[in-house]
Amino acid sequence: MSKHDKTMKTPEFQGVEGAPILDIRNLRVVYQTDLETVEAVNGIDLTIERGKTFGLVGETGAGKTTTALSVLRLLPANTGRILSGEILFNGKNVLELDETLMQAIRGNLVSMVFQDPMSALNPVYTVGEQIAEAIRLHNPDLTKEQVEDRVDEMLKLVGIMPSRKTEYPHQFSGGMKQRVVIAMALCCEPELLIADEPTTALDVTIQAQVLAMIRELRDRLGTSMLMITHDLGIVAQTCDAVGVMYAGEIVESGTAEDIFLAEKHHPYTVGLFDSIPNLSSRTSRLKPIPGLMPDPTDLPKGCVFAERCASCMEICRQEHPGVYTEGTHKICCHLFAAPSEKEGGAK
């Protein structure tokens, strides 16, 4: 199986060398129920360059997973709505595709590793069968033996003995289950891998093993990646570009250097860094961000972070801030936006 075969089946998705693999433009997603409307993602722009890893950081409820599910069009059918925006995968808007084409993409060109390996696997099938299913679906021409060989190969790749493929998920530890999930995600050599908090459920030494493995596989297969996490340490270790998400918006984005080394930052990013106990110096007190994230059913009119921001100004409560750009570094905050840029940014 080669990349060539895959683009034969889905010729529309042939990527252009040098063009970004994923380009999200002004995406807005809501969850609508009879009672309320949750504004989960509010007009985000995000670009992942081919072969690079983009880290999406933020706290619970920031809209990270919703963004990922939108890319695969896996939002809950009865509540999730994509209001506007474009998600360009290799230049094609996935929001306009029919379900058959989407199925050809999912697991084949774009695949996802979910946060909780315990619930991502089916308990009544052996792990071998579950990996084989993904391979069979996307490669109907392969013989049984070829599929089995591929399963063995995938298990070896993630460091599990192929002899264990006849075992069930409950016979595996958490770290091993996550490896199986990663094997499933990688078995069709996707061009884009979405990893949604892949190590949150794991212990630190196992987390280190899984992260090292993901990095090695990424380098070997040249996969582009969207890494969703709340851990800035993981971002520092694995990502080339970073977006900091808060209340459905990307408040700051740029290369890893921009986020970790530049001088100017969004106050929320500063707060995130100050909340983490520092290992190299003993600080007597943490400087947490006061308060909580705003209610996504009732977002403030101005800047979404205004309520908790130490440098909040009058204008922050009135107007949505524009984007301040310095090279690759983008900050969505009134502190930096020049007056002329503000108008264009107001949504």
Partner 1 sequence: MTQEVRRTPLLQTVDLQKYFKLKGGSYLHAVDGINLTLYPGQTLGVVGESGCGKSTLGRTILKLIEPTAGKIYYNGVDITNYNARKMHPLRKEMQIIFQDPYSSIDPRKSVIEVIAQYMLIHKVYKSRAETFNRAAELMDMVGLARRYANSYPHELDGGRRQRIGIARALSLNPKFIVCDEPVSALDVSIQAQILNLLMDLQQELGLAYMFVTHDLSVVKHISDHIMVMYLGTCVEMASSDELFDNPLHPYTYALLIAIPEPDLLRSRQKTLHVIRGEVSSPIDPKPGCRFAARCEYCTERCSQSNPEFVEVSPGHHVACFMVNDK
The per-residue DSSP string of 95-159 comes to: GG--HHHHHHHBTTTEEEE-S-HHHHS-TTS-HHHHHHHHHHHH-TTS-HHHHHHHHHHHHHHTT
Give the count of beta carbons closer than 10 Å to the beta carbon of residue 286.
Answer: 10
Q: Is 119 in the site for partner 1 (CB under 8 A)?
A: no
Among the listed residues 120, 121, 180, 234, the single contact to partner 1 using CB under 8 A: 234
CA distances in angstroms from 182 to 174, 199, 210, listed in the order given: 12, 11, 9
Distance separating alpha carbons of residues 245 and 45, to the nearest angstrom = 11
Distance separating alpha carbons of residues 192 and 11, to the nearest angstrom = 16
Among 73, 146, 81, which residue's Cα sits nearest to residue 103?
73
Q: Is 279 in the site for partner 1 (CB under 8 A)?
A: yes
Q: Is 77 in the site for partner 1 (CB under 8 A)?
A: no
Q: Is 280 in the site for partner 1 (CB under 8 A)?
A: yes
Nearer to partner 1, 90 or 229 (CB): 229
- Of the listed pieces 8-16, 80-88, 122-130, 271-279, which binds partner 1 according to CB under 8 A? 271-279
Q: Is 267 in the site for partner 1 (CB under 8 A)?
A: no
Nearer to partner 1, 31 or 246 (CB): 246
Nearer to partner 1, 276 or 346 (CB): 276
Nearer to partner 1, 74 or 276 (CB): 276
- Name the minimum Å distance from CB 148 to partner 1: 26
Nearer to partner 1, 5 or 274 (CB): 274
Nearer to partner 1, 139 or 229 (CB): 229
Q: Is 286 in the site for partner 1 (CB under 8 A)?
A: yes
CA distances in angstroms from 134 to 71, 184, 346, listed in the order given: 19, 7, 44
Q: Is 48 in the site for partner 1 (CB under 8 A)?
A: no
Bridge partner list, 225: 53, 193
Interface size with partner 1, residues (CB under 8 A) = 46
Q: Which position has the token pair 């909580």?
A: 292
- Name the minimum Å distance from CB 62 to partner 1: 9
Q: Is 222 in the site for partner 1 (CB under 8 A)?
A: no
- Name the minimum Å distance from CB 230 to partner 1: 7
- Name the minimum Å distance from CB 243 to partner 1: 16
Among the listed residues 52, 136, 230, 342, the single contact to partner 1 using CB under 8 A: 230
Q: Is 33 in the site for partner 1 (CB under 8 A)?
A: no
Q: Are 3 and 209 in contact (CB under 8 A)?
A: no
- Residues with Cβ within 8 Å of residue 35, at least 6 apart in sequence: none
Residue 252 DSSP one-character state: E
Per-residue string for binding with partner 1, 140-179, x by CB under 8 A?
---------------------------------xxxx---
Q: Are 25 and 88 in contact (CB under 8 A)?
A: yes
Q: What are residue 94's phi and psi, to 5 degrees?
A: -70, -20
Q: Is 275 in the site for partner 1 (CB under 8 A)?
A: yes
Looking at residue 312, its amino acid is C
Residue numbers of the site for partner 1 (CB under 8 A)?
A: 59-60, 173-176, 203-209, 211-212, 230-237, 256-257, 260-261, 271-280, 282-283, 285-290, 292
